[in-house]
Amino acid sequence: MQVFHKIADLQNRLFDDRKKSKSVGLVPTMGALHDGHASLVKKSIEDNDITVVSVFVNPTQFNDPKDLSSYPRDLDADCKLLETIGADYVFAPSVEEMYPTPDNRHFEFPPVTTVMEGAHRPGHFNGVCQVVSRLFYIVRPDRAYFGEKDWQQIAVVKAMVKSLCLNVKIVECPIVRESDGLARSSRNVLLSDDERKTAPNIFKALKEGVEYSKTHSVKETHDYVVNKINAIDGLDVEYFEIVDGDSLQDVENWNDSDYIVGCITVYCGKKPVRLIDHIKFKS
Ligand code: PAF
């Protein structure tokens, strides 16, 4: 496995690989890798001749400086894990390498960029599009791999790819959970022991919500899940939205769509740590 910090070095290497007609998969990450990332990397290795994993904590997608500074970083541990899995190249640029000048491009694809995370983290998806489009221009992957945990991010990246006419296939990979149901996330390491024990109640309430939805309306199910979670000490729902899985538009009745997903963000603990999850009501 080779680690690249400079765009030109990675591009030279990929140029040689492409001359040999090798296919390239890209797994964009912000590091602090866990089993969720490992599943994306394994899928890319299965599908492509070369797998590139980018490790870059992208400042332009953080709207809260404290969130950016506390984001976990450990490139050595990430590289060890990637080497065991069998990734070919790690791309770990500095902020100056990725953004030699400020990125003034503005990405907006309503409604997918304006609802949920878009409404609660202004500028977040603009930053995601800035960095993902740069990574796509640098690596020119045949396929790029994203986890379904960030459900809305996939919809945004697909809208961006369409809008920029980029020739890359977006591969969606299923969410990976801990044995107690907590969605795997780089932020989980920020949870104290007590918070870690409380956090699985989010997925528990979502699963109960699916049962409850069989005999109750969308609004009743929404309120049931929110009240269940908020009743637990240390958990505070930021939003829970029951939406069409593609358009991300709210649904009012279970018959409004054949594909319905509940997306939730919950603050956990004192710091607090912001946790994201989702559940499919209809698929
Ligand atoms: O999902 C993430 O970790 C990030 O948003 C991504 C796609 C790597 C862009 O920085």
Encode the chain (283 residues) as per-residue pLDDT tens digits: 999 999 999 999 999 999 999 999 999 999 999 999 999 999 999 999 999 999 999 999 998 899 899 999 999 999 999 999 999 999 999 999 999 999 999 999 999 999 999 999 999 999 999 999 999 999 999 999 999 999 999 999 999 999 999 999 999 999 999 999 999 999 999 999 999 999 999 999 999 999 999 999 999 999 999 999 999 999 999 999 999 999 999 999 999 999 999 999 999 999 899 999 999 999 9
Nearest alpha carbon, ligand 1 atom 5: 128
47 vs 254: CA distance, rounded Å: 36
Q: Which atom of ligand 1 is nearest to the CA of 147?
A: 1
- Region for 96 from its dihedrals, namely left if φ exceeds 0, alpha if ψ lies in -120 to 50, beta otherwise: alpha
Q: Are 208 and 279 in contact (CB under 8 A)?
A: no
Q: Are 151 and 176 in contact (CB under 8 A)?
A: no
Q: What is the pLDDT of residue 126?
A: 98
Torsion from C-alpha of 256, 262, 263, 266, nearest 10 degrees: 140
106 vs 260: CA distance, rounded Å: 29
Q: What's the predicted TM-score (pTM) here?
A: 0.94
Q: What is the pLDDT of residue 73?
A: 95
Is the Cβ atom of 30 under 6 angstroms away from ligand 1? yes
Is the Cβ atom of 150 under 6 angstroms away from ligand 1? yes
Q: What is the pLDDT of residue 49?
A: 98
101 vs 73, 130, 158, 166, 233, CA distance in Å?
24, 12, 26, 23, 45
Is the Cβ atom of 131 under 6 angstroms away from ligand 1? yes
105 vs 138: CA distance, rounded Å: 17
C-alpha 128 – ligand 1 centre gap (Å) = 6
Q: Are 110 and 74 in contact (CB under 8 A)?
A: no
Helix (H, G, I), strand (E, B) or coil at 220: helix
Q: What is the pLDDT of residue 12?
A: 98
Is the Cβ atom of 132 under 6 angstroms away from ligand 1? yes
DSSP strands (E only) in 74-224: 89-91, 143-147, 169-173
C-alpha 107 – ligand 1 centre gap (Å) = 16
Q: Which atom of ligand 1 is nearest to the CA of 54?
A: 8
Angle at the Cα of 161 (from 275 to 282), degrees rounded to 5?
A: 50
Find the catalytic residue in 37, 124, 222, 278: 37
